[in-house]
């Protein structure tokens, strides 16, 4: 086990150059970040942690004039980047560089394929695999304040120290089950830039409660949410600091025609009405003027019959049985909502593709087509081939 005395704190260009040189020959590196985004639209990067079998380092972006040498290593296609629950960290690197690091190995996704709880936390996985209880004292620390204490640096370093130890263990377990290739598509998807972009015209989809609006009201919401997204980006402020979701919904429903009308809305703070009033009125009018063929459509609500709901229950039992047999986490295959869509007729779904199809998707289709059935034997749900039972019967 690596000791804290070996940890590096990188806050000068010379130290960074030495770290980059030390990383040059490595085929993989464990990676994590500390950031703040409570007061900004874009995450403020405060620390980058890196580990290999030979070193643990905390790189201070607030003290370094240029991160390019390290970013070159992180974006090196010849090096696998190992992260736990990678999305937020990768989003930061995407905004820093304009591209997403690859290839990626996400230990949270890998753990689900080995029977650990779906979306297992890093601390829980470290405890399960290494028997180490991680210190959570600095979980809510302000990582933008300097200087960092020795305890803060050790806490941050632990986020990659043990990641570098559990990665080879997970790879070994996956290889023993011949499952490493199963994750290839999931890992490749993590490096897709589309995952980290919110095009302004699509921002309305992120507004909580948008599906409750009528079609013509969603047209107004589309214009308002696009304006809010662009304003939040330009000002680098959280969306809710510009206008909160509930206020956007009320604006879309009531469509005030003037700043005076805006000021009567309870959900819109007076300072927002004063600061953004003319812009809001302008975008409400633009939304009302949108031709009907440009109104955003909400996905149709899924309504299953009682008979279909019973089929979903049977399908969920099959899913859990397949997951149990293969030692994977059931939610890593599909959620109940996913199964409802498939029962309703959807066929373009991850459960019916790749490794998920091999584990349970093929069997689910066989169940829906009446080719297999479920029975209980010795207290467990079992799959039976209908053709065989028909012949024997």
Q: pLDDT of 268-292, one tens digit each?
A: 999 999 999 999 999 999 999 999 9
Residues of the chain with CATH 1.10.150.80: 200-294, 306-392
pTM for the whole thing?
A: 0.89
Report the C-alpha gap between 332 and 324 in whole angstroms.
Answer: 12
Torsion of CA 29, 147, 46, 109, to 10 degrees: 50
Q: Is 76 one of the catalytic residues?
A: no
The predicted model gives 78-90 an average pLDDT of 97
pLDDT confidence band for 385 (50 / 70 / 90)? confident
DSSP 70: H
Q: Is the pLDDT of residue 393 over 60?
A: no
Q: Is the pLDDT of residue 3 over 60?
A: no
pLDDT digits (tens, 9 = 90+) for 138-189: 778 899 999 999 999 999 999 999 999 999 999 999 999 999 999 999 999 9
Q: Which run of H or E residues covers position 228?
A: helix 215-235
Q: How many CB atoms lie within 10 A of CB 73?
A: 20
Give the domain 306-392 fold.
DNA polymerase; domain 1 (1.10.150)
The predicted model gives 284-307 an average pLDDT of 90
Torsion of CA 136, 138, 141, 146, to 10 degrees: -160
Domain 200-294 has CATH 1.10.150.80: yes
Report the C-alpha gap between 47 and 89 in whole angstroms.
Answer: 11
Report the C-alpha gap between 139 and 160 in whole angstroms.
Answer: 15
Q: Is 89 one of the catalytic residues?
A: yes
CATH class of 4-196: alpha beta
| pLDDT for the residue numbered 160 | 98
Report the C-alpha gap between 262 and 239 in whole angstroms.
Answer: 19
Per annotation, catalytic residue among 7, 60, 158, 159: 159
Q: Which run of H or E residues covers position 91?
A: helix 87-97
192 Cβ contact partners less than 8 Å away, ≥ 6 residues apart: 100
Q: How large a percentage of the chain has pLDDT more than 90?
A: 86
Report the C-alpha gap between 227 and 201 in whole angstroms.
Answer: 9
* Cβ-contact 228, 242 below 8 angstroms: yes
Q: Is 18 one of the catalytic residues?
A: no
Q: Is 159 one of the catalytic residues?
A: yes
How far CA 43 is from CA of 22, 86, 191, 236, in Å, comes to: 28, 14, 18, 9
For residue 129 the two structure tokens come to 């695999």
| pLDDT for the residue numbered 388 | 60
pLDDT confidence band for 390 (50 / 70 / 90)? low
Helix (H, G, I), strand (E, B) or coil at 79: coil
For residue 72 the two structure tokens come to 């070159």
DSSP 179: -
- Report the sign of the C-alpha dihedral through residues 234, 236, 237, 238, in that order: positive
Residues of the chain with CATH 3.30.420.10: 4-196
Per annotation, catalytic residue among 60, 89, 106, 186: 89
* Cβ-contact 36, 143 below 8 angstroms: yes
- Alpha-carbon 350 to chain mean position: 16
Report the C-alpha gap between 26 and 93 in whole angstroms.
Answer: 20
Q: Is 155 one of the catalytic residues?
A: yes
* Cβ-contact 43, 233 below 8 angstroms: no
Q: Based on C-alpha coordinates, what's the Rg of the chain? A: 26
| pLDDT for the residue numbered 207 | 96
pLDDT digits (tens, 9 = 90+) for 19-57: 999 999 999 999 999 999 999 999 999 999 999 999 999
pLDDT confidence band for 389 (50 / 70 / 90)? low
User: Half-sphere exposure of residue 343, counting CA atoms within 13 Å on the CB side?
Assistant: 24
Q: Are strands 380-385 and 80-83 parallel, antiparallel or unpaired?
A: unpaired
Q: How many CB atoms lie within 10 A of CB 231?
A: 18
Per annotation, catalytic residue among 155, 186, 229, 276: 155
pLDDT confidence band for 2 (50 / 70 / 90)? very low
Report the C-alpha gap between 83 and 160 in whole angstroms.
Answer: 8
Report the C-alpha gap between 232 and 248 in whole angstroms.
Answer: 14
Per annotation, catalytic residue among 7, 26, 34, 186: 34
């Amino acid at each position: 086990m690596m000791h804290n005395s070996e940890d590096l704190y990188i806050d000068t260009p010379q130290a960074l150059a030495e770290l980059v040189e030390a990383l040059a020959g490595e085929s993989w590196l464990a990676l994590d970040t500390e950031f703040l985004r409570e007061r900004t639209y874009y995450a403020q990067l405060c620390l980058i942690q890196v580990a290999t079998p030979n070193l643990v380092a905390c790189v201070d972006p607030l003290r370094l004039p240029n991160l390019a040498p390290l970013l070159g290593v992180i974006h090196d296609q010849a090096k696998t980047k190992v992260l736990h629950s990678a999305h937020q960290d990768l989003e930061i690197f995407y905004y820093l560089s304009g591209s997403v690091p690859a290839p990626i190995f996400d230990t949270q996704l890998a753990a689900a394929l080995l029977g650990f709880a779906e979306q297992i936390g890093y601390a829980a996985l470290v405890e399960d695999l290494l028997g180490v209880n991680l210190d959570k004292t600095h979980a809510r620390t302000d990582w933008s304040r300097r200087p960092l204490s020795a305890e803060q640096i050790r806490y941050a370093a632990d986020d990659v120290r043990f990641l570098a130890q559990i990665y080879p263990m997970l790879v070994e377990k996956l290889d023993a089950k011949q499952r490493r290739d199963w994750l290839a598509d999931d890992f490749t998807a993590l490096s897709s830039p589309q995952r980290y972009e919110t095009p302004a015209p699509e921002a309305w989809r992120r507004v909580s409660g948008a599906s409750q609006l009528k079609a013509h009201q969603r047209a107004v919401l589309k214009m308002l949410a696009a304006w809010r997204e662009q304003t939040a980006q330009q000002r680098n402020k959280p969306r809710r600091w510009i206008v909160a979701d509930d206020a956007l919904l009320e604006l879309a429903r009531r469509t005030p025609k003037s700043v005076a009308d805006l000021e009567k809305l309870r959900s819109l703070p007076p300072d927002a009405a004063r600061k953004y009033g003319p812009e809001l009125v302008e975008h409400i009018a633009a939304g009302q003027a949108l031709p009907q063929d440009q109104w955003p459509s909400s996905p149709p609500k899924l309504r299953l019959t009682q008979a279909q709901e019973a089929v979903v229950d049977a399908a969920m039992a099959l899913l859990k049985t397949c997951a149990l047999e293969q030692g994977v986490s059931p939610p890593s295959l599909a959620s109940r909502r996913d199964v409802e869509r498939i029962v309703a007729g959807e066929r373009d779904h991850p459960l019916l593709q790749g490794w998920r199809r091999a584990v349970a998707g093929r069997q689910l289709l066989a169940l829906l087509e009446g080719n297999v059935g479920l029975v209980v034997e010795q207290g467990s749900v079992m799959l039976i081939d209908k053709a065989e039972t028909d012949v024997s019967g």
